[in-house]
Amino acid sequence: MFMWPMGDRELIIDLLEALTSARVTHAFTIPGGVRNDVPYRFKEKALSQIGYLEKRLEEYEDIFYNNPLLRQRTEDVGILTKENAISLGVTGSVLRASGVPYDIRRAEPYDIYTEIDFKVQHMNKGDSFARSYVPFLDMQEACHILTQLLDKMPESGEVRAKLQPNPKGPAGESYKRVESGRGALGYYIVMMALQNLIE
C-alpha cells in the first residue's frame, strides 16, 4: 500500500518539474510574484492529474482507512478533547480532528481564498484515527480547491512585479500567518528605521 502513493507522487512532481524545472526544491514563489509563467497546456495536464488523484484517494480510503487493523489500533486511542486542544495550542489537522473547525484560510482569508469555495474538514472524536483521517479529507478538499484555482487562472498577464533589491520601509513590526500542510505557519517580521529587513 505504501508504495502506491509514491508512484502517484510522481505525477505531482512531474507537474512541478514542468512548472519550475526542479523536482523537489522549487524556489518558484518569489517577492513580487512567481519566477516564470506556466508552460504550454499546463492547465489541461494538471486537471487531468487531479482527476486521477481524486479517484486514487477513494481507493486509498477503502484500502487504508477502512482497514479493520488500522481502525482497531487508532480508534479511541490518544483522545485529545476540544478544550485540551485549544488550551495546548495545537493547530491544523490535529486541532480540526478534535472538533474545532478552524482554518486560517477561512478565519483570516488571504490571497484568493475569499473567492474559493471550500469546506473546513473536521472530526469530533479527537483520537488517533481522527487525526490521521482529517489530512486525508484535506487532500480531497485540496483537489477541489486546485480545480477552482486552475479555472480562475488568467490566460495571459504579468506573473512577476519588479521590486527594488534590499527592501526598505518605515520602522515597525508585523506578524502574518497562513495555513500550511501541518497547520499555522507564521512569520514575525521586524523592520528597523532606515535599515534592511532584519528577520
| Interface with another protein (CB under 8 A) | 73-74, 77-78, 80, 84-85, 88-94, 128-129, 131-132, 135, 177, 180-188
User: What is the closest distance, in whole angstroms, from the C-beta atom of residue 36 to another protein in the complex?
Assistant: 26
User: What is the closest distance, in whole angstroms, from the C-beta atom of residue 63 to another protein in the complex?
Assistant: 18
Question: What would the 3-class secondary structure string for the chain be?
Answer: CCHHHHHHHHHHHHHHHHHHCCCCCCCCEECCEECCCCCCCHHHHHHHHHHHHHHHHHHHHHHHHCCHHHHHHHCCCCCCCHHHHHHHCCCCHHHHCCCCCCCHHHHCCCCCHHHCCCCCCCCCCCCHHHHHHHHHHHHHHHHHHHHHHHHHCCCCCCCECCCCCCCCCCCEEEEEEEEECCEEEEEEEEECCCCCECC
Q: Based on CB atoms, which residue is closest to another protein, 6 or 194?
A: 6
User: What is the closest distance, in whole angstroms, from the C-beta atom of residue 68 to another protein in the complex?
Assistant: 14
Q: Based on CB atoms, which residue is closest to another protein, 168 or 182?
A: 182
Q: Based on CB atoms, which residue is closest to another protein, 180 or 196?
A: 180
User: What is the closest distance, in whole angstroms, from the C-beta atom of residue 43 to another protein in the complex?
Assistant: 30
Q: Based on CB atoms, which residue is closest to another protein, 36 or 67?
A: 67
From residue 109, how far is each of 21, 113, 116, 138 by CA, in Å?
30, 6, 10, 17
User: What is the closest distance, in whole angstroms, from the C-beta atom of residue 4 to another protein in the complex?
Assistant: 19
Q: Based on CB atoms, which residue is closest to another protein, 116 or 178?
A: 178
Q: Based on CB atoms, which residue is closest to another protein, 71 or 160?
A: 71
User: What is the closest distance, in whole angstroms, from the C-beta atom of residue 130 to another protein in the complex?
Assistant: 8
Cell of 22: 526542479
